[in-house]
């Protein structure tokens, strides 16, 4: 047996990067960004919740957990045709990636999973990148998704190992890592990131990024979310995230994971254009596009297209 490879980044290195003054950190992140992504293009990804609410997990940030009394109730799963119609519309508006979410703890074999597999095939037939986020998945389920043409699986670490239990009690950080390994072994690309603004420390933020950056290979896609506080969840009263904190997180993610697509994810609706621009300068090269995330709202498409045009940024062309 060979010894495991040494981790690429240690705790102190990541924290030292995170603690750099913001402007030099931004300069460095921009340099790394331009070296690996000289195109200055932003990928537009559209989200659709294909099975909303009623989730048995207790993630403190999530309006879809059945443990909390929020305005999101358990809904029936969407039909394949409804999903394909949404994907077609997303493509017409300029998205190149379509991500389908289900409020599940884990995938279970059966008609609902069969339907997700059909959704993936339909999205691929439109020429879009297909991504799903379905909770925990084992290797044979991941293989079935891969065979259907799935490009990416989203499964966020959300926070550090140390802080995980204070946010989620119904599963562990190791459960999360296991699913990421199953996805990777099935040949699907990994989309994994986290959330800031949940009361975590700077060390928690650094450790989350360090765990992601030490994955071999690194995730192809890293969503950085600012908490959208939702009435009824335990985190409903969290103060808004300081946009500079988001800029800092994105810059560190960019430097640690130069090739990844870093996605400026939830929370844009409460940010100014200037703050979003700084996030793009810090290395974000993807956004969620469309008026809705999964259950909460997002800027509308025409405002986003105007923003990108004014910022002088192109959008990623469809992969034909």
Report d(CA 116, CA 114) in Å as an integer: 5
Contacted entry of ligand SF4, ligand SAM, ligand DTB, none for residue 286, CB cut-off 5 to 8 Å set by kind: none
**Quick one: residue 268, left, alpha or beta (phi over 0 = left, psi -120 to 50 = alpha)?**
alpha
Cβ atoms of 179 and 134 closer than 8 Å: no
155 binds ligand SAM (CB under 6 A): yes
Q: Which residues are catalytic?
A: 55, 59, 62, 99, 131, 191, 263
Could you tell me the smallest distance in angstroms from the CB atom of residue 32 to ligand SF4? 30
DSSP-assigned letter for residue 46: E
With CB under 5 to 8 Å by kind, the binding choice for 158 among ligand SF4, ligand DTB, ligand SAM, none is ligand SAM
Our finding on whether 83 is near ligand SF4 (CB under 6 A) is no
* CA torsion, ordered 279, 284, 286, 287, to nearest 10 deg: -20
What minimum distance in Å lies between the beta carbon of 65 and ligand SF4? 4
132 binds ligand SAM (CB under 6 A): no
Q: Determine if 249 is a binding residue for ligand SAM (CB under 6 A).
A: no
* Positions 19 through 78 that interact with ligand SF4 (CB under 6 A): 55, 57, 59, 62, 64-65
Question: Measured between alpha carbons, how far is residue 33 from residues 28, 89, 312 in Å?
Answer: 9, 31, 16
- Mask of contacts with ligand SAM, 156-175, x by CB under 6 A? x-x-----------------
Residues of this chain that bind ligand SF4 (CB under 6 A): 55, 57, 59, 62, 64-65, 103, 105, 135
């Amino acid at each position: 047996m060979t010894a495991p490879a040494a981790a690429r980044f240690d705790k102190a290195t990541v924290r030292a990067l995170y603690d750099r003054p913001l402007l030099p950190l931004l300069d460095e992140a921009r340099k790394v960004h331009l070296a690996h992504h000289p195109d200055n293009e932003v990928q537009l990804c559209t989200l659709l919740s294909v099975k909303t609410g009623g989730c048995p997990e207790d993630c403190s940030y999530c309006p879809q957990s059945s443990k909390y009394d929020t305005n999101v109730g358990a809904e029936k799963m969407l039909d394949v045709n409804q999903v394909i119609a949404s994907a077609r519309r997303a493509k017409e508006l300029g998205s190149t990636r379509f991500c389908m979410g289900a409020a599940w703890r884990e995938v279970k074999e059966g008609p609902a999973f069969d339907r997700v597999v059909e959704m993936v095939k339909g999205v691929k037939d439109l020429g879009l990148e297909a991504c799903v986020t379905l909770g925990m998945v084992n290797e044979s389920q991941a293989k079935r998704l891969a065979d259907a043409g799935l490009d990416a699986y989203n499964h966020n670490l959300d926070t550090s190992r140390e802080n995980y239990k204070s946010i989620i009690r119904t599963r562990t950080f190791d459960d999360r890592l296991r699913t990421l390994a199953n996805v990777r072994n099935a040949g699907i690309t990994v989309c994994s990131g986290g959330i800031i603004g949940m009361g975590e420390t700077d060390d928690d933020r650094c450790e989350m990024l360090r765990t992601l950056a030490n994955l071999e290979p690194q995730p192809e896609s890293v969503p950085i979310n600012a908490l959208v506080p939702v009435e009824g969840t335990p985190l409903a009263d969290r103060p808004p995230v300081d946009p500079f904190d988001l800029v800092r997180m994105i810059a560190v993610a960019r430097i640690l994971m130069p090739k990844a697509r870093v996605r400026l994810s939830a929370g844009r609706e409460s940010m100014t254009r200037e703050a979003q621009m700084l996030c793009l300068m810090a290395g974000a090269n993807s956004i969620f596009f469309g008026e809705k995330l999964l259950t909460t709202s997002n800027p509308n498409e025409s405002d986003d297209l105007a923003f990108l045009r004014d910022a002088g940024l192109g959008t990623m062309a469809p992969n034909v």
